[in-house]
Structure 1
Amino acid sequence: MSEEKNIIDQFSQYSSWLSTLEGINEELWSRPIAKGKWSISEIIAHITNWDNHLLSEVIPAVKNGQGMEFPDFDTYNKEASNYVKSGKSQSELLEEAKRTREQLVRELHALPTETLNKATTSNDVTHCPHTGTPYSLLYIIKEFIDHDNHHKKQILQFLKEVI
């Protein structure tokens, strides 16, 4: 299996993991996971919001040979929190999150290897400031896998403590 396919398959595992959250008590679903932190529902909406951004903005830009653009994180993340508070049910949010990730994975699998690995910019920056690695769509997907895992760990720790 190619490295690219392996990374995309790893990225797709989030969809399956979401099923483990079905049927969580509504109070736990909406309770902040720690003081000053989001609830499980807000975390799921946050990840879905970024998946939507990858689908609607990042992939089309990379396909057209343009750099990747990401909005101000705090503002964009607040939108996800507000979205959940607008009345989305647990089942609706989980279904939307799965559907969005699955669509994103299909789009990524459809891209040629050259497109996935092509050097590009992220908000006009050519290399990751932490690793010095040149940005590419595949590099960003690896960062999003780390991001998913960070939030999954938070959720699992919270559930372990309260259940």
Structure 2
Amino acid sequence: MISLGENTILRYKEFTEWTDTLHDVNESIWLQPIAEGKASVGEIISHLKNWDTYLIYTIIPAIKNGEGMVFPDFDSFNKMAYEYARSGISKDRLLDEYKQTRLQLVEKLLTEPDVAAKHVTAGGVEICPHTGTPYSLLYIIHEFNDHDNHHRNQILTVI
């Protein structure tokens, strides 16, 4: 039987099945903003990859060290991702990098469920003020699933 945590993680992994379809996106729209003042499809994929990388190399080690989760300034962090998408990296390579990073994160979460489920602080706060749920990396992944769907819906408006 799959636990709620495993289900959340598998949902996170399944998003790569949808992003695999983006290899077919026309190059002419890959780096075009999806709407005025918004990121492009390529920038969104780079943004997702950056957050997964941050969870792998910063958040998971912090939790293992008994520390809480600390997140960077969103705007500057996302700006770095957008710049990477516009750096000349090909669409296929960026999509492949994103998928490899996501699968690496999923593997870590599945093989270290105690790390994923451990109650920790997020930005010094123990409980999400919106839901009353104690923070854990698993809770963040649950939130990121909603975040992924938000971006999927944005991308679907232009492809």
Per the shorter chain, which TM-score range?
over 0.9
Q: Distance in 2 between matches of 1:119 and 1:27?
A: 44
**Does the 8 Å contact 2:34/2:41 carry over to 1?**
yes
Aligned residue pairs total: 158
Q: With the length of structure 2 as denominator, give the TM-score of the two structures.
A: 0.95
Q: Percent identity?
A: 52
Query: Structure 1: which 5+ runs fail to align?
Result: none
CA drift of 1:110 comes to 0.6
| 1:65 paired residue number | 66
Q: Distance in 2 between matches of 1:117 and 1:107?
A: 12
Matches within 5 A, 1:1-163: 1-112=2-113, 114-159=114-159
**Does the 8 Å contact 2:109/2:115 carry over to 1?**
no
Q: With the length of structure 1 as denominator, give the TM-score of the two structures.
A: 0.93
Q: Distance in 2 between matches of 1:40 and 1:108?
A: 27
Q: Distance in 1 between matches of 2:135 and 2:18?
A: 27
| Backbone CA RMSD of aligned residues | 1.0
Q: Distance in 1 between matches of 2:125 and 2:14?
A: 29
Q: Distance in 1 between matches of 2:15 and 2:90?
A: 19
Letter in 1 for 2:36: K
Q: For residues 124-158 of structure 1, what are the alpha-carbon distances to aligned partners after superposition, in whole Å with 9 as ceiling and x for unaligned?
A: 11111211211011101101111111101110122
Q: Distance in 2 between matches of 1:68 and 1:103?
A: 19
CA drift of 1:73 comes to 0.3
CA drift of 1:70 comes to 0.5
Query: Structure 2: which 5+ runs fail to align?
Result: none
Q: Distance in 2 between matches of 1:88 and 1:52?
A: 17
